[in-house]
Structure 1
């Protein structure tokens, strides 16, 4: 990693070309953190300003994202599906953890939280506060989905079953997060769940107001047990939703930053205006 004095390009373009090649050949994988500016300056034998110019060029190309206080990361391309779990875990390295979820039941979030919460219990992660908001449909009233496959009509028994599943995961999240505060492992731990009268067609996670994951629910035929009967329904299949990643960076006008801002605005508008507390 050195600058070629015979190369007519300015040093910052040479550095950018070297890092670009490492990213495109996947020597630096999506989500990987780049070495610090000081480390790169030493490796390439250039000034810190040269590294900053190179990073700015790569950021403009959408190859990297700068996260304040954390460093520079290879961008998780929005054209590629990505996993939620490692990002949830990384979020818990922050001083104050915030997660906003909008979707159908919270099963994926429940699973993704288990490992970082275990690490908090073990003392390997130590946030000061954790705040989670969960926005799910009001399954006490008729909805457009899920519906019976034979008549495309609402079935109260199907909704009751779905509501039991939703309560299992949302209450599970509440219990394990509140336990952190009860054990004195964090100063503050809150989980709030609210419902609204819309069948969600997508799931959205907003993490530390810096990252968002978005995916559409495919509607598929599914067989569910209702009492002693098996009923065919059209269901929202959360496990089949492909999540895409977006991240804010230091440029408030970038696509990633605007996506995060608009996602947060949408979530807050539903939460504050048309949702209500979930009934037990």
Structure 2
């Protein structure tokens, strides 16, 4: 389980890839507890911080879940979940890259874009064009989720503002990083933009190169968060617990995957061209 010193990827990503492969090939079964962080650190010959970073990647992908006081376990439905990062990295190997995202914040997409963007900067990937569209929920309007829970449930501008800040930070970093690729001349054509819609987004959707769709529902949970220095109970849509399902085009136009990709594209374009308004983080 030693890491490859010639692999340009950071150690935590190598560890994450190894563990991900173990989960998806059932070396670690659904519901099984993973070795402790210290044991994994010893096996891979890395620091515990590296293991923690690797586990965060897998947690964000919906492959594992942490149980307080117990450890880290493979999700019961991990065999149906799909890791987004490897597919996005593969999408960037094409000459023309297009990514459409619809969801609450784009935080997971930001993390998934780190590796391919860094590889472009190093000259290891050379796409001619990159087009990214982000479609987010408009948090300036009352919504059912996120909202205040507890004894006084209902819409709360402060709760919405909390999510709006996360979305602004994630979208802003994506726009800045991709635009920089064009400014540096690393990508000939760059087109990256964000819009918001007056609808609550209770799912996340990724459309890659008009060939693949990843779709998952946000589970709603009641939890405590800190707002203006106070602990506030809220109903929240938790992206890290979203299980993504994969659909792709095939040679058979009647196949479910092809139809799903077509309809996802049509749905995204219909909102983008009508009720969505320009958003600049």
Q: Is this a same-fold pair by TM over 0.5?
A: yes
- In structure 1, the gaps of 5 or more residues are 1-24, 27-77
Aligned partners of 1:143, 1:224: CA distance in 2, in Å? 18
Number of equivalent positions? 205
Report the aligned-residue RMSD: 1.6
- Kindly report which structure 2 residues correspond to 1:1-280, keeping only aligned pairs within 5 A, or say none: 80-150=80-150, 151-280=152-281
* CA radius of gyration, larger in: 1
Moved over 4 A (4+): none
Aligned partners of 2:279, 2:138: CA distance in 1, in Å? 8
Decide whether the 8 Å contact of 1:103 with 1:204 is kept in 2.
Answer: yes
Aligned partners of 1:134, 1:252: CA distance in 2, in Å? 27
Shift, 1:277, TM fit: 0.8
Decide whether the 8 Å contact of 1:79 with 1:244 is kept in 2.
Answer: no
Decide whether the 8 Å contact of 1:104 with 1:166 is kept in 2.
Answer: yes
Shift, 1:106, TM fit: 0.2
With normalisation by structure 1, the TM-score equals: 0.71
**SS of match in other structure, 2:273:** helix
Shift, 1:143, TM fit: 1.0
Shift, 1:279, TM fit: 4.9
Shift, 1:152, TM fit: 2.7
Aligned partners of 2:223, 2:118: CA distance in 1, in Å? 34
Deviations 1:14-54 (A, max 9, x none): xxxxxxxxxxx99xxxxxxxxxxxxxxxxxxxxxxxxxxxx
